[in-house]
C-alpha cells in the first residue's frame, strides 16, 4: 500500500450518462476511502470547477461528453494534475466512433464496414442491405443506438440518432457473440461474454436488472479467447489509449473478432464489466481502483498551475 493520497473523484457531469457516472464515481470513492485515502467527490460543469490545493490526483469516473471526449483531460493537463485514464487526443479519438474506426483500419484492426452521415434527412445508404446499426458517433453507453431491420424504419431511426449528435455512424450489422476485453496496464484481462436475454445489448438491456447475463471468463476455446484479447489490445493501442480501457468485440460464427469500439473511461460500478474482468483475474475492486490511481501518479506530469479561485 502506498502512502495515503488526497484524491478527487470526478463523476456526474453534463452528459446523457450522468446517472451511470454518478454510480461509478460513488463506488470508486468508497473503495478509495476503504484504502485509507482522503477522497473528495466533484460533479464538474464545464468551466465551473476547481480542485482543492492539496489534490494529489484525479480519478475520472465521468462518461460521455465532457468526460470521455478529451475536454476535461485537456483542462487537467493544463493544470498539471495527474488523472486516471487516457490523454486528451486518445480520449477524443476513441470517443468519436468514426475517428476510432479510421485508426482501426490504418492499424489492421478488424472492424465492421461503416459510413458516416451528417444529414438527418439522408436517404438509405446505396449498396447497403438491412439490417444495419445506427448510432451517434460521439456518445457512449449505447445511447441512441438502434438496429434497423427494414428500410421503412430508417427515417425514424436516423432522426432519433441525430438527437444525440451531429454525426451519425451507420454500421454493417455483424451477427455473433458479444464480448468485451479489459486492458489494464499492458495486459489483457479475461474476456467477458454478454448475453442479453432478449434482443441486443442496447441501453435498456445494459441497465435493466436481470435483462442480461454475463460470463467471465467467457466460455471460449483458448484460441478464440486469445484472438479477442489480441484484437482488443490492438484497438487500445490504435487509438493511443493508455493505462486502461474496455474494448467491445463481436465474435463471428467462424471465429473472427470484429472490434466495435474502445471505451477509455468504462463503467466502474462494482458490477460493471471491467471490474468483473479484473475480479476474474484475481484483482479486487479496491485493488483495481488503486492500480488505476497508481498508474496516474507514476506518469510524468507537467508543472502544476494554480487554479483561479474566482
**Cα 228 from Cα 237, distance rounded (Å):** 14
Q: Is 237 helix (H, G, I), strand (E, B) or coil?
A: helix
261 catalytic? Reply is yes
β-sheet bridge partners, residue 21? none
Residue 121, C-alpha cell as written in the block: 434527412
Q: Which of 13, 23, 267, 272 is the catalytic position?
A: 267
Task: Examine the residue annotation and report whether 244 is marked as an active-site residue of this protein.
Answer: no
User: Rounded distance, CA 310 to CA 300, Å?
Assistant: 29
Is 53 within 8 Å of 79 (Cβ atoms)?
A: no
| Residue tagged active-site, from 69, 165, 193, 261 | 261
How many CB atoms are closer than 10 A to CB 229? 22
Which of the following is catalytic: 182, 246, 272, 285? 246
Nearest-angstrom CA–CA distance, 32 and 30: 6
Among candidate residues 276, 122, 249, the one with its CA nearest the CA of residue 189: 276
Q: Judge whether 85 counts as a catalytic residue.
A: no
Residue 80 C-alpha cell reads as 498539471
Residue 248 annotated in active site: yes
Q: Which of 12, 13, 15, 17 is catalytic?
A: 17
Angle 53-46-91 (CA atoms, 0-180°, nearest 5)? 90
Which of the residues 15, 24, 141, 205 is marked catalytic? 141
Apex 242 CA angle, 240 and 246, nearest 5: 95
- In order of 123, 151, 155, the CA distances from 161 in angstroms are 14, 15, 10
C-alpha cell at 165: 449528435
Q: Does the active-site annotation cover 213?
A: no
Q: Is 267 a catalytic residue?
A: yes
Q: Which of 242, 263, 272, 285 is catalytic?
A: 263
Phi first, then psi, for residue 223 (nearest 5°) are -65, -40
For residue 193, indicate whether it is catalytic.
Answer: no
CA trace torsion 98, 148, 220, 275 (10° rounding): 60
Q: Which residues have a catalytic role annotated?
A: 17, 141, 207, 246, 248, 261, 263, 267
Amino acid at each position: 500500500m502506498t502512502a495515503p493520497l488526497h484524491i478527487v473523484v470526478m463523476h456526474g457531469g453534463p452528459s446523457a450518462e450522468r446517472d451511470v457516472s454518478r454510480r461509478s464515481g460513488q463506488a470508486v470513492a468508497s473503495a478509495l476511502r476503504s484504502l485509507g485515502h482522503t477522497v473528495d467527490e466533484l460533479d464538474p460543469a464545464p468551466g465551473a470547477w476547481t480542485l482543492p490545493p492539496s489534490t494529489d490526483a484525479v480519478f475520472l469516473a465521468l462518461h460521455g461528453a465532457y468526460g470521455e471526449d478529451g475536454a476535461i483531460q485537456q483542462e487537467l493537463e493544463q493544470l498539471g494534475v495527474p488523472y486516471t485514464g487516457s490523454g486528451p487526443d486518445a480520449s477524443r479519438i476513441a470517443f468519436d466512433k468514426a475517428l476510432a474506426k479510421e485508426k482501426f483500419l490504418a492499424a489492421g484492426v478488424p472492424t465492421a464496414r461503416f459510413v458516416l452521415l451528417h444529414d438527418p434527412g439522408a436517404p438509405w445508404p446505396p449498396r447497403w442491405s438491412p439490417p444495419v446499426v445506427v448510432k451517434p458517433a460521439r456518445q457512449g453507453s449505447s445511447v441512441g443506438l438502434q438496429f434497423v431491420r427494414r428500410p421503412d424504419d430508417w427515417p425514424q431511426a436516423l432522426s432519433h440518432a441525430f438527437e444525440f449528435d451531429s454525426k451519425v455512424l451507420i454500421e454493417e450489422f455483424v451477427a455473433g457473440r458479444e464480448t468485451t476485453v479489459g486492458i489494464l496496464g499492458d495486459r489483457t484481462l479475461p474476456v467477458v461474454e454478454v448475453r442479453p436475454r432478449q434482443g441486443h445489448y442496447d441501453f435498456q438491456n445494459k441497465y435493466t436488472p436481470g435483462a442480461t447475463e454475463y460470463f467471465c471468463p467467457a466460455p471460449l476455446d483458448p484460441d478464440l479467447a486469445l484472438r479477442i484479447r489480441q484484437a482488443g489490445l490492438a484497438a487500445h493501442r490504435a487509438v493511443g489509449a493508455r493505462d486502461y480501457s474496455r474494448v467491445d468485440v463481436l465474435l463471428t460464427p467462424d471465429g473472427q473478432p470484429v472490434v466495435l469500439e474502445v471505451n477509455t473511461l468504462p463503467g466502474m460500478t462494482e458490477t460493471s464489466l471491467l471490474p468483473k474482468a479484473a475480479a476474474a483475474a484475481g484483482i479486487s475492486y479496491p485493488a483495481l481502483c488503486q492500480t488505476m490511481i497508481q498508474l496516474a501518479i507514476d506518469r510524468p506530469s507537467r508543472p502544476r498551475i494554480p487554479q483561479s479561485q474566482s
